Amino acid sequence: MGTTETMRRKLEIALSPSRLEIVDDSESHRGHGGYREGGESHFNMEIVSSAFEGLSRVARQRLVFDALKEELAGPVHALSLRCMTPEEQD
């Protein structure tokens, strides 16, 4: 199982998101720090979950970072997050 699917599984377990979009943006970082051939090093994520209700932006990000601590310590170099509650989504 690749990094993307591992992260998806972990976030689904930890946050039960109603929406989870994970985009591998590694190719746009070719030649920059942390880039790895084959990708799965730089990601953009949009997560909608009721687990974020009442939490600050930083607290929401901490929930995600806690769920993905192994990936962030290893293959994932950069992670851009957009964390919303169901009421906040566009």
Structural domain boundaries in the chain: 3-84
pLDDT tens for 19-59 read 999 999 875 545 555 545 555 688 999 999 999 999 999 99
Q: Concatenated DSSP letters for 53-69? A: TT--HHHHHHHHHHHTH
Residue 90: half-sphere exposure toward Cβ, Cα within 13 Å: 3
Tell me the pTM: 0.85
Which pLDDT score, from 0 to 100, does residue 29 have?
Answer: 47
Q: Which range, of 10-19, 50-59, 73-82, averages the lowest pLDDT?
A: 73-82
- Supply the DSSP symbol for 32: S
CATH superfamily of 3-84: BolA-like (3.30.300.90)
Residue 56's identity, in one-letter code, is S
